[in-house]
Amino acid sequence: MNADHGGGVESHGDDTDDMGMDPTRPHRRRPTDILFVAAACLTTVALLIWALFL
């Protein structure tokens, strides 16, 4: 292990430079956010019912 780094990959820039990701970008709420959360909750409940009772 290199003494200068605690492990991992040596990088001379930010990890997100090549991807174009901006960690300081403000989050915008969309109506589909609620839809995705509701669909995930319903799927979870359906799978639990299927696993426990069928």
Does 9 map to a domain?
A: no
Structure tokens at 22: 């901006």
Does 48 map to a domain?
A: yes
Q: CA nearest 45: which of 37, 32, 8?
A: 37
Does 21 map to a domain?
A: no
Does 19 map to a domain?
A: no
The predicted pLDDT at position 16 comes to 57
CA distance 54 to 37: 25
Does 40 map to a domain?
A: yes
Does 51 map to a domain?
A: yes
Residue with tokens 């780094």: 5
The predicted pLDDT at position 14 comes to 61
Three-class SS of residue 41? helix
pLDDT tens digit string along 9-36?
Answer: 565 666 656 667 777 888 888 989 999 9
Residue 41: which domain range?
A: 30-54
Q: Tell me how many domains the chain contains.
A: 1
Would the pTM of this model clear 0.95, i.e. be above it? no
Does 11 map to a domain?
A: no
